[in-house]
Structure formats: C-alpha cells, structure tokens
Amino acid sequence: MGSTSTKIKLRTSDQKVFEVEKAVAVQSQTIKYIYENGCPDSVIHVHSVSGDILSKILDYCKKHVNSAAGKEDISPEELYEWDANFVKVDQNTLFDLILAANCLKIESLLDLTCQTVANMIKGKRPEEIRTTFNIKNDYTIEAEEAVRRENKWAFDMLGGVGTMVIEELADDTMSKCVTNTKSRVCVIAANQIVMMRSISKLANKKSIDVYKQPQNPTTPRIKESVKQRNVGTGFIELFFHFKCKM
C-alpha cells in the first residue's frame, strides 16, 4: 500500500471508468482523502465530473507528476507552454475544468484555469465582458449610474494627468488604454519617461508615427504609432504600438 505502481479506479458521472496510477490520482486532494480514509480497492465515484473532463484533468496531473518526478525531460518553460496550450479550449470546457478542479481540489489546475478566465476579463470594459461571456445587463439606468459614480476612479483610465506604465518595453509591444480627451499620456519604461503626449493633440489624427530619439544612448529608441477610435461618451480608445530597439 505505498508502491508507486498502485492503481486507483475512478468512475465518472457518465459511467466511464479510468484506472490511473496513485501518484497521479492523489494530485486531487479530494481523491487523496477518500483513498486514505476508505477501502483502497474500491472504485471512487467522481459524480460531478464527466469522462471527457476527467480525461483532460488526468492528462494534466500526469504531465505535472512526471515532470516533477523527472520522468519526463521537460524544462519549466516547456511545462509553462504546455499549460498555456492546455487551457486553449472553448469556454464551456474551461468552466467545466474550473468546477472539476474546485471539486477535486487540485490547486495548481484551479489557479491555472481561473487565471485564464481572469486574463479574459482584465483590462476590458463592462460591455466587452458582457459580450465575451454572454451576460445580460440587468441594471436599471439609475442603478448603473450610481455604481459607475461609486467606482468612477476605475473608469478614469488616466485621470487628470494620465500615466500609462509600460514596464517591459520589448520590441513590438501593443498596449491599449481608454481615456478621455482631456488627459495626457505619459509612458514610462524602465523608470524613464519616454513619451508624453496630450490626448487632444492625438485625437485629431488617425494615426501617428513618431520616432523619439532619447538623449541617453542606453535607453530604448521608441517608434510608436497610435490609432484611436471613439467609444462614445467622451472616451476614446488608444492603441499604442511600440517598436523598440535597444
């Protein structure tokens, strides 16, 4: 009862049975608890998870167990990429994975899947989030205004003097921000201010190519182009495209 080739049987909600190595199955804290507190020869019923989802989850667990145990020659970067590809699935599958990872208590998978959804939310406006996830807006106009006023600071992307901080200015960086036309945009990279523009000047142009030559030769040379479009109610959306040469 401790040998690594011990197998555990799992039965899913659609009556599929999976036989997996104990080391893989106990990545799930839930299964681990049940296995250690019950009869080791019986089949564990995973009622809330379907065969397809469990199959994917077991792939994940196996990959991570093998890489940690050194059975597979895979670098941390390659594992990270494997994880990134693992979550490239449709929304239904992604949410099923979240629920299953939560139920089976597989912390790293739960973090990975939740982070993926978080990335789909970050930086988006409420209308965009509703479209992405097909959510109905059930606010009345007055209620929506009240909540917007309460959280006004979150919508003033740049406030008075805006600061859009680009922390890693690699070649070919794209950044997007929503701002009002009264703001200025100040781009700071590596603690140096590399660009300051008044939005009202930008607002009249469709796109601008500006090449900034810094005084200090070690700072990056930035060629930036800005595209803007009106998104209504006094806000414009700016796409900054940086081409950077060190």
Partner 1 sequence: MKIEVSEMEERKGKGKIMCGTLDLSAHPLDCITLIISFTSPRDACRLSLVSTAFNSATESDAVWESFLPSQYQALIPSSLSFSSKKQLYLSLCENPLLIEAGRKSFWLERGSGKKCYMLSPRDLTII
Using the contact rule CB under 8 A, the part of the chain among 19-27, 110-118, 189-197, 222-230 near partner 1 is: 110-118
Out of 4, 134, 213, 218, name the contact with partner 1 by CB under 8 A: 134
Q: Which regions of the chain does DSSP assign to beta strands (E)?
A: 7-12, 17-21, 43-46, 164-165, 173-180, 184-189, 192-198, 207-212, 221-230, 235-245
Closest of 225, 195, 193 to residue 208, by C-alpha: 225
Closest approach, Cβ 1 to partner 1, in A, equals 16
For position 30 contacting partner 1 by CB under 8 A, the verdict is yes
For position 121 contacting partner 1 by CB under 8 A, the verdict is yes
- Asked if 179 and 185 touch (Cβ cutoff 8 Å), the reply is yes
Q: Is 61 exposed, middle or buried (0-12, 13-18, 19+ CB in 10 A)?
A: buried
For position 77 contacting partner 1 by CB under 8 A, the verdict is no
Residue (119 or 198) nearer to partner 1, CB: 119
Using only C-alpha atoms, what is the Rg of the chain?
Answer: 25
Residues that bind partner 1 (CB under 8 A): 30-31, 33-34, 38-39, 42-48, 91-92, 95-96, 98-99, 102-104, 110-111, 114-115, 117-119, 121-126, 129-130, 133-139, 143-144, 147-148, 151, 153-155
